[in-house]
Amino acid sequence: MAREMTGAQMVVQALKDQGVDVVFGYPGGAVLPIYDEIFQQNDIRHILVRHEQAAVHMAEGYARSTGKVGVVIVTSGPGATNAVTGLTDALMDSIPVLVLSGQVPTFMIGSDGFQEADTVGITRPCTKENWLVRDTDQLAPTIHEAFHVATTGRPGPVLIDIPKDVQFATGLYQEREAHRSSYSRPTAPDPDAIEALVDLIEQAERPVFYTGGGIINSGPEASAALRDLVQATNFPVTSSLLGLGAYPASDRHWLGMLGMHGLYEANMAMHDCDLMINIGARFDDRITGRIDAFSPGSRKVHVDIDPSSINKVIHVDIGIIADAGLALKAIMAAWTRRGRRTKAEAVVAWWRQIDEWRAVNCLAYRQSTTTIKPQYALQRLEALTKDRDRYITTEVGQHQMWAAQFLHFEEPNRLMTSGGLGTMGYGFPSSIGVQIAHPDALVINIAGEASFLMNMQELGTVSQFHLPVKQFILNNERLGMVRQWQELLHGSRYSQSWSEALPDFVMLAETFGLKGIRCSDPAELDDAIMEMLDHPGGVVFDCLVERHENCFPMIPSGKPHNEMLLGDASTEGAIKADGAVMV
């Protein structure tokens, strides 16, 4: 039974039917009819942002921490173009986000009308799919399809461009239940491939699980299945940045993050293993280092829901196109049916080798009694917050890597970070989205001062919605990660990597009605962190840290895993010019 309503009413109705309870947005001429409908209802909460880029990052944080689709509303022209960075970020990290953009009326499209932009053209390369809706009758089916596409197969961002006349016109609303989509992607693993993998599991002497964001995309069941399989096989497990939390960091099978700034034991295990089982990770260049020297002696298996991820970067022996959770359960079932065999003694010997690598203690750093070391700040933050219901977001830079090294994640969906695009300015708005989704949880954004400045206008949003979100800024007064590369690769010529003319972050917080805390003395750090945690509202914590600390371990671009730099002493002349062309 179709109901007649306006396009704007359909937008709100379809969002409700899809279970949306919050949208992040910013109004403008081309979306006024939709805003008028938002005004006249109470089911969907609208979070008014201060910049559309931030709205998309909020939706990403919301989506990543809940597993639901994050929804954004922006106006035409500049509203839509401001959303592009967020869309690209979500595409790279496989985050389901829906952006609804206003557009000039259909009869004006192509006339360079006021605030007209070719939004579907601009966003085509940064969305999984996008649509321009020219007919009000098509609006509801398109919104239902958008939710389906965003969450089916490999998740990703989608956009619907809605001309203003389509919002005003009336049409027939299509119910969610009536929607039929032709888009589907296979998710069940090929049983033969699973058997072949079990053969390898039974024979492996030096196995390792390399897991990634795909496990988190797959949902909590996939993380649970991973735990079962790792514990039953006694195989070691490492993960990409985006997969952190899928396996509990407190378990002894956990090797820590791998990759450019990953742990020594994780990277050495990847390099020397004889069986690599990649589940839901995409062999990113932060992981592989020099391709032709990547784990030279191993057989490689790759489980991924997206066929294009398989053999894109690294050729594998077995490619399994499947959902991570279904594949993990199928592996467990087949392996169990065949008697749960492994080369247990060899694996124990492998663990002895791994323990030797662990003994290197690669995260060691020189402690100071006068300045706060960024690593120390995070160790203290970890100690003081680990037992709480805690969500972490990060900005991009050294602090992000230290967060990945020094904070421990026990559950999936607890770390929100911009991995693929590396978007400075992601973490603050993302933390707002997380806090909206989890009002009673402790949400902390680990920030660098430069990244924080990129979306600091959102202090207004924090203030308006009384969000208790904490900004923990590791302030080194430098574009730290850039400075580190300049030190190691460009003869310490620090071109433009000073954060000049910084604001007083305490006063900045206060002008928005928030609490500001500054700390520069390691002896006072614990008390200051407790003050932040005890404060019921939003806090900006300006933690003044060692300015020229470098983030180690580090695999220089273009180097194999077993040539890691472990500390300042090992960096002399280690990076050759041919590596410098890599990013």
Ligand X SMILES: Cc1ncc(C[n+]2csc(CCOP(=O)(O)OP(=O)(O)O)c2C)c(N)n1
Residue 324 in contact with ligand FAD, rule: CB under 6 A: yes
114 catalytic? Reply is yes
Nearer to another protein, 237 or 322 (CB): 322
For ligand FAD, give the closer residue by CB, 164 or 302: 302
Q: Is 10 a catalytic residue?
A: no
Structure tokens at 320: 């399994």
Alpha carbons 458 and 448: distance in angstroms, whole number: 16
Sign of CA dihedral 105, 109, 111, 116: positive
Given a contact cutoff of 8 angstroms between Cβ atoms, the answer to whether 537 and 469 are in contact is no
Q: Decide: is 298 part of the binding site for another protein (CB under 8 A).
A: yes
| Residue 116 engages ligand FAD in binding (rule: CB under 6 A) | no
CA atoms of 201 and 579, how far apart (whole Å): 35
Q: CB–CB of 313/282 below 8 Å?
A: yes
| Closest separation in Å from C-beta 306 to another protein | 6
Nearer to ligand X, 212 or 480 (CB): 480
Catalytic hit among 16, 18, 108, 115: 115
Q: Is 193 in the site for another protein (CB under 8 A)?
A: yes
Could you say whether residue 309 binds ligand FAD (CB under 6 A)?
A: yes
- 121-150 mask for another protein (x: CB under 8 A)? x--xx--xxxxx----------------x-
Name residues contacting ligand FAD, limited to 489-518 (CB under 6 A).
none
- CB crowding 549-562: b at 16 or more within 10 Å, else e: bbbbbbbbbbbbbb
482 binds, among ligand X, another protein, ligand FAD, none (CB under 5 to 8 A by kind): ligand X
Number of chain positions touching ligand FAD (CB under 6 A): 37
Is 400 a known active-site residue?
A: no
> Least Å distance between CB 401 and ligand X?
8
Q: Work out the number of other CB atoms within 10 angstroms of the CB of residue 398.
A: 24
Give me Rg for the CA atoms of the chain: 24
The enclosing H or E element of 47 equals: strand 45-48
Using CA atoms, how far apart are residues 192 and 481, in angstroms rounded to an integer? 45
**Residue 214 neighbours by CB under 8 Å, 6+ apart:** 94, 154, 243, 279, 280, 281, 282, 303, 304, 305, 324
What is the torsional sign of CA 188, 193, 199, 200?
Answer: negative
Q: Is 318 in the site for another protein (CB under 8 A)?
A: yes
Residue 257 interacts with ligand FAD (CB under 6 A): yes or no: yes
- Catalytic: 164? yes
Work out what residue 130 binds among another protein, ligand FAD, ligand X, none; the CB cut-off runs from 5 to 8 Å by kind.
another protein
Shortest CB 574 distance to ligand FAD, Å: 17
Residues in Cβ contact with 510 at an 8 Å cutoff, skipping those fewer than 6 apart? 516
299-304 β-sheet, strand order: 254-257, 237-239, 207-211, 275-279, 299-304, 318-321
Complete DSSP assignment for 525-582: HHHHHHHHHH-SS-EEEEEEB-TTPPP-SB--TT--TTS-B-SGGGGTTTS-HHHHT-
Binding mask 281-300 for ligand FAD (x = CB under 6 A): xx-x-xx-------------
476 binds, among ligand FAD, ligand X, another protein, none (CB under 5 to 8 A by kind): ligand X
Nearer to another protein, 315 or 388 (CB): 315
- Write down the least CB distance from residue 83 to ligand FAD, Å: 20
Catalytic residue selected from 52, 60, 145, 449: 52
Instruction: Respond yes or no on whether the N-terminal peptide bond of residue 207 is cis (omega within 30° of 0).
Output: no
Q: Is 496 in the site for another protein (CB under 8 A)?
A: no
Smallest gap from Cβ 547 to another protein, in A, equals: 39
Which positions lie near ligand X, rule CB under 6 A?
Answer: 395-399, 422-425, 448-451, 474, 476, 478-482
Contact between 278 and 376 under an 8 Å Cβ cutoff? The reply is: no
Residue 347: both structure tokens together: 């694996």
**Residue range at the interface with another protein (CB under 8 A); choices 78-86, 295-303, 334-342, 405-413:** 295-303
Say if residue 274 is exposed, middle or buried (CB neighbours under 10 Å; 0-12, 13-18, 19+).
middle
Q: Of 563, 202, 207, nearest to 350 (Cα)?
A: 207
Q: Which of 317, 487, 526, 531 binds another protein (CB under 8 A)?
A: 317
Give yes or no for residue 291 binding another protein (CB under 8 A): yes
* Closest to another protein by CB, 420 or 522: 420
Nearest CB to another protein, comparing residues 130 and 240: 130
Q: Are 507 and 482 in contact (CB under 8 A)?
A: no
* CA 513/CA 495 separation, integer angstroms: 36
Token digits of residue 139 = 């609006």
Q: Which stretch binds ligand FAD (CB under 6 A): 31-39, 114-122, 194-202, 206-214?
A: 206-214
Is residue 310 packed enough to be buried (19+ CB in 10 Å), middle (13-18) or exposed (0-12)? buried
- Report helix angle 32-39 to 7-17, nearest 10: 60
Tell me if 261 contacts ligand FAD by CB under 6 A.
yes
**From 207-215, 242-250, 309-317, 412-420, span contacting another protein (CB under 8 A):** 309-317
Q: Which of 424, 454, 481, 564 is catalytic?
A: 481
Amino acid identity, residue 243?
G
Q: Which is nearer to ligand X, 131 or 505 (CB)?
A: 505
What is the closest distance, in whole angstroms, from the C-beta atom of residue 320 to another protein in the complex? 7
Q: Which amino acid is at 121?
A: G
Nearer to ligand X, 68 or 399 (CB): 399
Residues 380, 519: Cα–Cα separation, whole Å? 13
Strand runs labelled E in 125-180 = 129-132, 157-163, 170-173
Q: Which of residues 222 and 396 has its CB atom nearest to ligand X in the complex?
A: 396
Q: Which member of 85, 127, 223, 240 binds ligand FAD (CB under 6 A)? A: 240
Residue 319 contact partner, candidates ligand FAD, another protein, ligand X, none, CB within 5 to 8 A by sort of partner: another protein
Residues identified as active-site: 52, 114-115, 164, 481
| Residues making contact with ligand FAD (CB under 6 A) | 93-94, 154, 212-214, 217-218, 240-243, 257-262, 280-282, 284, 286-287, 304-306, 309, 323-324, 396, 400-401, 419-420, 422, 481
| Residues making contact with another protein (CB under 8 A) | 120-121, 124-125, 128-132, 149, 154, 182-183, 190, 192-193, 196, 291-292, 294-300, 306-308, 310-312, 314-321
